[in-house]
């Protein structure tokens, strides 16, 4: 059974506050996120300029935006693993490596999307 909590507008405001706190922590503690956010901001005008249609522009922007989302998940996995222990453990290393692999796959996918749209 779910625990009682906030509902309606109060829940939305609380969730927004927590999301903002998460983004601030991500910005403060994760250099990779800052670099990828910079990539996203640089890619925005290029996506608008280079996309031939609204759909192409949206796909170009979305592909780079997904990198930020995947990086956020990766950072959350790393934070939980580090919270549990800083000792080396095979499963902890695997969890961190998998998160890193997810970010790499998102970056490769974004690059492929940009190449297909721009060269197509």
Whole-number pLDDT of residue 5? 82
Whole-number pLDDT of residue 118? 95
CATH fold for domain 31-119: Helix Hairpins (1.10.287)
Whole-number pLDDT of residue 3? 67
Whole-number pLDDT of residue 1? 64
Whole-number pLDDT of residue 25? 96
**Which are the contacts of 43, defined by CB distance < 8 A and separation ≥ 6?**
60, 61, 64
- Name the stretches of the chain with pLDDT < 50: none
Whole-number pLDDT of residue 4? 74
Length of the chain: 120
**What are the extents of the domains in the chain?**
31-119
Whole-number pLDDT of residue 12? 92
* Residue 33 known to bind ligand: yes
* Residue 29 known to bind ligand: no
71 is known as an active-site residue: yes
Whole-number pLDDT of residue 120? 86
Q: Specify whether the CB–CB gap between 52 and 74 falls below 8 A.
A: no
* Residue 83 known to bind ligand: no
């Amino acid at each position: 059974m779910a625990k009682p909590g906030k509902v309606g507008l109060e829940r939305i405001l609380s969730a927004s506050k927590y999301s903002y706190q998460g983004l601030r922590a991500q910005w403060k503690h994760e250099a990779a996120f800052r670099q990828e956010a910079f990539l996203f901001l640089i890619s925005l005008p290029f996506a608008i300029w280079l996309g031939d249609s609204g759909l192409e522009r949206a796909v170009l922007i979305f592909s780079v935006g997904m990198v930020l989302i995947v990086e956020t998940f990766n950072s959350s996995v790393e934070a939980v693993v580090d919270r549990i222990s800083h000792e080396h453990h095979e499963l902890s290393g695997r969890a961190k490596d998998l998160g890193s692999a997810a970010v790499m796959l998102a970056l490769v996918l974004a690059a492929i999307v940009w190449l297909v749209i721009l060269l197509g």
